Structure formats: structure tokens, C-alpha cells
Structure 1
């Protein structure tokens, strides 16, 4: 079967939305680090909107910092791919043309540096996951023993990390007399702009103090909040789309109608006139906090409890009345720790979230959400737990979600099926838990992982008791019975 490409665009069905601009006339004003499904369904679609509106300065050069997989999917398709927007029984197909080139950084490091240092590049966006910033979650300092970061600390001739590429490119721009670019983290991290800035400045200081000062004075690292559910694409998805389009698209993504990008209005150079779905604001933190503690916090609880019960998809978990009651209770707890902006109606937001979780066409897998839990729990669940304990409030639902994460570390669900614990700290956590023979010892072991649990929270007796109680119930009765017991108590 023919592949999706510039040559096959005209052969697509009439209901498929195509780029309304001349792709040959587009300049690359954006470099994106960490191209994956989320970027293709979120930021790339935003810049595609800008191109469709007639501003052709905002094409994208994208880079994979590790695998050639996405490059190999997109290069035969001239960078084109389909974004399927699914809601219930409806499905809308749109071809995104914003990505002009995909670079595999380990294969072409100098090409990526050239793109970052191009005078046309004004914005750099990143979706590199929490672990890509090479910062210790507990201290915020560079993880100097990380092999890739250690290499970048020694030399930036051929960078290996995202901070390394940014520092090397900014040094090149400074030498060429070019201004810095605006660097925008699009990862689900609290204060993501500050973290990115800290990583870049710390690495720059180790190489060139005047460069670090120039970046600090002239550069910009806006805080952002991104929101769109983008489940992993399956082989069945690719086959179904090929049958519909009569061309094969190996880079397709599927997503929901909802999309949101809140950006701190702090740029150091040109920016596009963003359209619908993008909100510029003076303060991102309240939006970010609400999203992390409501959407992402609930997602983590659903993923671990549903995964332990052997349930594959989010909407299937929410079909259980006890799971639904758990999510509402978690939101009741987390909501009290928020300071939402006036524009954010929390009651409406919760209803919208539940509707999004219920969308059966997304087929969002619990195991996909369960990845990298050690990096996600501090901001999603542990922060609201600490806030509630500080004011004497209960943590029943939030602590159950954390206990489910701890139970997940055993690598086996309630049905006896093994699963990979896909997490950068999996080995260390497994070693800590190996010698823990009782529930109390397992809780004590996890509380000593200060890269995940803040020391002050680890010393809190109420948290320890709640975690021990729920973990014991999960270990002896399983997730479904534990959820039923939880529902009976609220």
C-alpha cells in the first residue's frame, strides 16, 4: 500500500482536512526536542494552525534524542501524519504538515545544533519527560553521575542531553551575534520553565560563566501547562486508518477534542499569534497545579488501581461505581489544596475531566499512564497530601493512590500477571523493597526514598499509617475489593 506523502495528499478522501498552506514556503521557526505522540497531537497541531492562518514562519524541525523510530515513520511521509480526533462515535481526520524534518540527535548532533542556532529559530519546545532534565527531584541539582550528563559536563562538542544541546546551541548563537531563543518546556512538571532554566544555567556555568550570565539576562523560559489525552497508537489503529484512507500512515496519532496550552507571556523574541486552545497568562502556576492534582493525580490513581485489577483502559476502570467514587473523593481532597484562577471553574473542570476519562474511543491504557511513577507522584499526589496534612485534613483517597503505586512495584497484578515496572528508579526501589518482609517494612523502605518522598512527609505518622493500611488491604484483598471497601467508608 502507498504511504501518506505529499504525492498522495490529493488522493485522500474528501472529508480529510489537509494543510491549507504551501509547505515549500514554510520556514522553520521552531525546534522541538523529544518528538513523540504527544507533541504531534498538541504543539505541532498548534503551529499547524498558525501556518494555516497564513504566518509561514513557524514550521518545525523536530528531534529525537534517542531512537530513530519516529524519524523512520515520518521521513517516508515527507513529515506528514494524520491526527485522529475521536469523541464517542465521531472521528475527524486531519493531516498535520508543520513538521518539516526529524533529526535523530545521536546520528546527527551537529545538524541539530545548526537548527537550534539558525537565525530563523525563535522558539524551542521540549517534551522530554521528567527524567530528561537531568535534575535530582529532591534537590533540584544536576544529576552529575548520570552518564549522559557527565559526558556533557566534560564536553559539549557532541551533546547527549537536552540541556546540553540547549547550552551548546546558545553558545553558538552568542558567538554568531544572534539573540537567544525562547525555550518552552511542555512536560507535566511543576514550575517546568524554572526547572529548564535551572538545568541550562547550571550546565552553562560549568562551561562558561559569561555565557550563563547572557542566557540568564537575555533568554526566556516561560512556565507552561499542557493538556490533551494522547493514548499510544496501536497496530490496529494504523490498519484501520489505512483502510479508511487507502494509504498507510505509520506516524498517525489519536487524541480527544479537548486541547489546552497555557503559556506564561514571557518571550525573548518573536512569537506567533496563537489561536484557539492557547492562553497567554501572567501566572501559569494555578492552572498547572489544578491540572497536575486533578487530571494527572486521578490518572495515576486510576492507572495503578485499574492496572492491579487487570483492567486495560481508563474508561473501563471508570465504568466501576467504586472507582468512580474513588476519583470523586480524590478530587474532593485535592481541590482543597488549589488556588484556581478566576477563569477556572473547578466544578465544571471536574465534569469535563470525567467526560474525557469516559471517552471509550481513546482506549487510554492504564499501563501507559503507570510509567515513570517515581517522577510523577511528588507533584501529582504527594504535594496535595502534604498540603492537607499541614492543615489537619484527611488523605484517605490520595493515600490509597500512593499505596497502589507502591503495590505496583511488585511487578505483578492481582490476577498473577507480570508487568514491567517502567520507571527510572525501578531498580533502586526494587532493591529497597527486596528485604522488606512485612507491609510495614515495605512502607518504611519506600518512605526512605527521598528522591520520591520529601523527608518531612516521610516522617509524618498519619501518612505512614494511611499508606500501611491501604497497602495491607491491596496486598491481601486486591484492588477491586479495596475500592469496594473505600466506597463503603465515604
Structure 2
């Protein structure tokens, strides 16, 4: 059955569906970046609220600034903005249709429709899922990069912006001119201090063309921090066919995800917000503790298993967790080097959290892939791995495992697995990474010459020595022997 509003009543009995009518929902949020994670996370929390009869004036309006967003708009529009979400619990997969999205802004290069929609009085939150690499950050310094091509364009053309941040600045200007209060900007991306990072991007861009308006943004616009978590693999023909076979639904872009989800938010919404606390969202003044735990242990854990698995031609994440050396590498590095420098988290035992992560990664029904975890390393490594390395170096602590993780990434960037299978890097800096990865086969330190990624970590003599030893071992003896020695505590 093709998904649509008219087909809801005829869906199979085991499929949950909205208990509210579309006419009962009015818009309150524009969300930029309506990919799988957003539709498995924020949209699900809102669907829960609407089903409970709460916050129905906070309907989602989808939006995007990339060509692929136009494809998403076409597909979702053909099914009345509905999405099927399948929770993959082994032996008990569950499907639900969510209806929190009620519209989708036309996707245009100069973002006129997006600016107009964000400037509308009923919009009180603009939320973002634009990926770790979407915030125009210098990877080494983690600071806003005013030389980013899109930022440079928007600074020169503030009325016809191509970036999401240019569109936000333009919409805020329209609202101020109309006497409307500013909307809250809510980042839903996996970035340390994501609210602060979003603020720097919006105000930093504004300052390039209108310093006075940038000061107004800093003094008047709220950017709450938040931590989000749910493992959500990419959608392929495999998921579409599984949805048809198992639930009898034809959905152009369904979302498959693990059962677990978590959202921790700073309660800083001057123009109001949905009653998220009623559906399991944690509000706290100390998001950073939860955020650091998740980014370093879970996101860092993804990076730890990604590159050895790719080099060993392992495709699925659960298969990587079945490999004793990949799993052993994850657990030893987490316990020995990462968890000891993660600050305490209220009400959370970090050892128990690692056990939870181990279970989640091993879920065979999720079907998450190693290529997905490997992508965008030039943005993810400086956020998920190198901060732990930097902290340990500052304490004078060993970084053997963290240096090995970086060396595995370097070996991956060579572009070939151990069996000789070609590896295509899915990274905006793929050409540069491959060039340095190939040079590092003979001169390991050539990889650390990418100072825009490694920063001061790459100049630390202790790290350089550990990295060089690890990469030399990977080339001379291979992934298996190197991991065996590391796990056994032997020098590399």
C-alpha cells in the first residue's frame, strides 16, 4: 500500500499511525535537514506529543539548502509528508507512521522561500540537522571559518544567501524590521557545544557584512545546547523492500533505526517550545556532561571500529562487532584511554554506558554500515577522536590506542583495503586525504602535515612517535597483527 493520508486507515493492523488529523496541527518549527536522523528523532518526539494531544501548534515545516533536499521534498510530498519509522529490535521490529511534518519549503539556491517561511510570525524555532561538517568550522581550531566558500559568498551577497546560516541571518533581519521577536535556533547535530557553534556561525557570518546586526544576534537570539542520540542507518533499496515485505507499506524514503533514543536539552526557548519533557526529553543546565560522554564514547566508538573493519572488508557494523579484534580494540581503547578522561555525568555510570553502546553496535537488525561510519572523517576525527588525544597529552598520559586509531584512518585514506579492494573516500577533502594517505606509506608523519585537521596534536612529539609506530606496523605487519599486539598490551 502506497503511503498517504488517505491510506492511513487501511494500513495493516500492527502499524501505528497518527491519532490526530493534519488539520489539528499548525506550524511552529522550520527544520533544515530532514534526513533520516531528524525523522527518527525530533520528528518522532513531536509525533509522540501530538498523539498525546499536546503541543499541536508546533508542527514541523521541512526545509533544505542542498540539491538532495529537493529530492527529499519531492518524495515526501508525494506521500503527504508522512514517514514510516521502523524500530529494529531483534525479534520484535515495529513500524509506525509519523505525521509531525506538515509542509516542506521549496528548495532554491538563493533561499527566498526559506527566508520568508522562517520570517513568518508563527515560526518560533528554527532547528538544524546539517551534519558535523555543515557548520563551516575550521577542523583544527574548531572555530568559525569566515573563508569557507559559502560563507564568503553570503558575506558578499547577504540578500541572496546560499547557506543555511545566511538564510537564518536574512530571516532574522526581516523579523526585526517587522517588529517580530527572533526565533530560537536549535542545533540537533553531534557537535560539542552545538548551540555555541551555531551561534558562532550565525553571528560570525552576520559580522562580515553587518557588525551591528551581529551584536544584536548575540544579545537577542537563543541558541540552546543539546545532545541527540539514535543510530539511524542510511536508507537503501534493502530497507524499502523490507518495509514492503514485512509491513505491506510502500514508502519512498522510510527510516530504519534502533529502538534506543535520547535527547538532552538546555531549556532556553524565549518564544516557547513543545512540551518535550512529557515524552522523555531531559532538560538540564549541564548538557555538556551528557554531550561529552556521548560524543567521545559513542561517536568516538564508531570511529574506532570503522577503519579496521573497512580495511578488513567488513561491511556491516554488527559484523564488525562479531570480529574479536575489532570488538577488542573498541573495548580496550574506550576503557584504557577514553573513559578515564570523560568527566562524571549525573546519574550515569560510564562503564554501564559503554556496555549499552556495545549492545547497540551489535544489534544485527539495524544493518548500519561501515562505509557510513567511515565517511566525512576530516570533520569527524577533530570532533570525536582528537579531543580525547589532546586531553591525554595535556595530562602526560599514554595515547597508544588513540594514535593507532588515527593511524588506521591514515591507512584507510590510502584508498585500498588489505585485500587490495579499492576504497572510495566519502569526504569533502577526499583528494587531499588520499594524497597524504599515500605519502604516509613511506613517511608516516606526512599524514600529520594536515595541520588544519590535527592542529597542535600533530606537532606533539609523543603523539608523533606513537602514530608513526602504529602506521609503520599497519603497513609492515597488517591490521590483524597490529590489533593483536595492541590488545595484548605489547609495544607496536
Range of TM-score over shorter length: over 0.9
Distance 1:144 1:389, change over 3 A: closer
Instruction: Tell me the TM-score normalized by structure 2.
Output: 0.95
Offset at residue 354 of structure 1 (A): 0.8
Q: Deviations over 1:230-277 (max 9, x none)?
A: 011220210121233433101200111110111112122111111333
Structure 2 residue matching 1:90: 3-state secondary structure:
coil
Match of 1:401 in 2: 405
- Say whether the 8 Å CA contact 1:50–1:58 is kept in structure 2: no
**Is 1:252–2:251 an aligned residue pair?**
no
Q: Choose 34-43 or 317-326, whichever is displaced more.
A: 317-326
The CA RMSD over aligned residues, in Å, is: 1.7
Q: 2:395 aligns with which of 388, 391, 394?
A: 391
Structure 1 residue matching 2:167: 3-state secondary structure:
helix
Match of 2:201 in 1: 199
Q: Choose 149-158 or 91-100, whichever is displaced more.
A: 149-158
Match of 2:292 in 1: 289
Q: 2:107 aligns with which of 97, 105, 109?
A: 105
Match of 2:333 in 1: 330
Structure 2 residue matching 1:268: 3-state secondary structure:
coil
Q: Deviations over 1:408-453 (max 9, x none)?
A: 1111111111121111222223334455561xx2x32222212211
Q: Distance in 2 between matches of 1:317 and 1:359?
A: 11
Offset at residue 107 of structure 1 (A): 5.6
Q: 1:315 aligns with which of 315, 318, 323?
A: 318
**Is 1:263–2:262 an aligned residue pair?**
no
Q: Distance in 1 between matches of 2:391 and 2:180?
A: 44
Match of 2:39 in 1: 40
Q: Choose 217-226 or 475-484, whichever is displaced more.
A: 475-484
Offset at residue 181 of structure 1 (A): 1.0
Offset at residue 131 of structure 1 (A): 2.1
Q: Distance in 2 between matches of 1:399 and 1:434?
A: 18
Q: Distance in 2 between matches of 1:266 and 1:285?
A: 14
Structure 2 residue matching 1:310: 3-state secondary structure:
coil
Offset at residue 323 of structure 1 (A): 1.9
Match of 2:446 in 1: 445
Match of 2:50 in 1: 51
Q: Number of matched residues? A: 485
Structure 2 residue matching 1:124: 3-state secondary structure:
strand
Q: Distance in 2 between matches of 1:287 and 1:270?
A: 23
Q: Choose 380-389 or 429-438, whichever is displaced more.
A: 429-438
Report matched runs for 1:234-245 at 5 Å: 234-245=236-247
Report matched runs for 1:373-384 at 5 Å: 373-384=377-388
Q: Which runs of 5+ in 1 are unaligned?
A: none
Q: Distance in 1 between matches of 2:141 and 2:402?
A: 24
- Say whether the 8 Å CA contact 1:309–1:478 is kept in structure 2: no
Match of 1:24 in 2: 23
Offset at residue 122 of structure 1 (A): 1.1
Match of 1:429 in 2: 433
